[in-house]
């Protein structure tokens, strides 16, 4: 039976207002609620549904982050993942490092499928899935809104600018989950209690032979500029005149 690997990223909860540190070295995380990246929750939910349909035997959740990231992995286990792997790393994790890490674990676990969210809400890079497919030399289908097994292939409906596109990829493969793929299940208290007994292995980048270095370096963080106050105009002519004065037309 198939084994599915799911990437889970620890991010600031989407309900939290992001604040940049005064020195511009990052965003404030002390005392801030952290959660599973919403798109990764969708990826995990899809893997769980595959197992419930008898299309997979084991779901493994993987997270790269500090010790505190065990909380997000326990949530993944409470949702239904069979086991979890925490790759300890206290520094920032860019898409290439994440892809290298997932590649190293995929080589050890030999999954039939790797599912990750299409992007993380902290950097919106949408690069980890494609980078992993390139490193692993496996086919990929990104922005999946529907996934169906067809023997040893996967039929994926993708959301593209022109509408919907249907691709068929051979397994093993990498797919990235889009927003409309599913709605993640609600975690109940009994599931949270059961998750405490499920295996959670801890390793690090060095043990996996992964280089934490990245060719991209963040120089400075800045909040977006505040929007200027709007101006009311009486008619279209006044609007055009104002735009001309601002040099916009």
Q: Which domain holds residue 209?
A: 3-245
Q: Quick one: pLDDT at residue 218?
A: 84
138-169 tens-digit pLDDT: 999 999 999 999 988 999 999 888 889 999 99
- What mean pLDDT comes out for the span 126-136? 96
Q: Quick one: pLDDT at residue 78?
A: 96
Q: In the block, which residue shows the tokens 């735009």?
A: 243
Token duo for residue 62: 């993987």
Q: Quick one: pLDDT at residue 43?
A: 97
How many whole angstroms separate alpha carbon 40 and alpha carbon 176?
Answer: 9
Number of folded domains that form the chain: 1
Q: Quick one: pLDDT at residue 106?
A: 97
Confidence of residue 10 (pLDDT cuts 50, 70, 90): very high
CATH of the domain at 47: 3.40.50.620
> Quick one: three-class SS letters along the chain?
CCEEEEECCEEECCCCCCCECCCCCCECCCCCCEEECHHHHHHHHHHHHHHHCCCCCEEEEEEEECHHHHHHHHHHHHHCCCEEEEEECCCCCCHHHHHHHHHHHHHHHCCCEEEEECCCCCCCCCCHHHHHHHHHCCCEEEEEEEEEEECCEEEEEEEECCEEEEEEEECCEEEEECHHHCCCCCCCHHHHHHHCCCCEEEEEHHHHCCCCCCCCCCCCCCCCCCCCCCCCCCCHHHHHHHHHHCCCC
71-92 tens-digit pLDDT: 999 999 999 999 999 999 988 8
Instruction: Tell me: pLDDT of 1 over 80.
Output: no
Q: Quick one: pLDDT at residue 228?
A: 80
Q: Quick one: pLDDT at residue 26?
A: 86
Q: Quick one: pLDDT at residue 9?
A: 97
Torsion over CA: 14, 42, 9, 33 (sign): positive
Q: Quick one: pLDDT at residue 45?
A: 98
Confidence of residue 102 (pLDDT cuts 50, 70, 90): very high
176-235 tens-digit pLDDT: 999 999 999 999 999 999 999 999 999 999 999 998 888 888 888 888 888 888 888 889
60-71 tens-digit pLDDT: 999 999 999 999
How many whole angstroms separate alpha carbon 100 and alpha carbon 123?
Answer: 18
Pick the more confident residue, 29 or 137: 137
Q: Quick one: pLDDT at residue 8?
A: 97
| pTM: predicted TM-score of the whole model, two decimal places | 0.87
Q: Quick one: pLDDT at residue 186?
A: 92
Pick the more confident residue, 94 or 81: 81
């Amino acid at each position: 039976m198939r084994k599915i690997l799911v990437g889970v990223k620890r991010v600031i909860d989407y309900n939290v207002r992001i604040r940049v540190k005064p020195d511009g070295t990052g965003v404030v995380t002390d005392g801030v609620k952290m959660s599973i990246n919403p798109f990764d929750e969708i990826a995990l939910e899809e893997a769980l549904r595959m197992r419930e349909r008898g299309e997979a035997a084991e779901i493994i959740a993987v997270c790269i982050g500090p010790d505190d990231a065990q909380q997000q992995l326990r949530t993944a286990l409470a949702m239904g993942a069979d086991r979890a792997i925490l790759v300890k790393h206290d520094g920032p994790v860019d898409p290439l490092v994440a892809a290298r890490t997932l590649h190293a674990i995929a080589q050890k676990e030999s999954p039939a499928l790797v599912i990750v969210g299409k992007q993380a809400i902290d950097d919106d890079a949408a690069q980890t899935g494609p980078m992993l497919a390139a490193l692993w030399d496996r086919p990929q289908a990104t922005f999946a809104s529907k996934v169906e097994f067809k023997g040893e292939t996967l039929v994926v409906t993708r959301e593209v600018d022109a509408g919907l596109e249907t691709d068929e990829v051979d397994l093993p493969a990498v797919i990235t989950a889009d927003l409309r793929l599913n709605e993640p299940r609600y975690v109940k208290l009994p599931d949270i209690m059961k998750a405490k007994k499920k295996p959670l292995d801890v390793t690090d980048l060095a043990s996996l032979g992964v280089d934490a270095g990245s060719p991209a370096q963040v120089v400075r963080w800045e909040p977006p500029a505040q929007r200027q106050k709007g101006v009311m105009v009486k008619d279209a002519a006044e609007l055009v005149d104002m735009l001309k004065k601002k040099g916009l037309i």
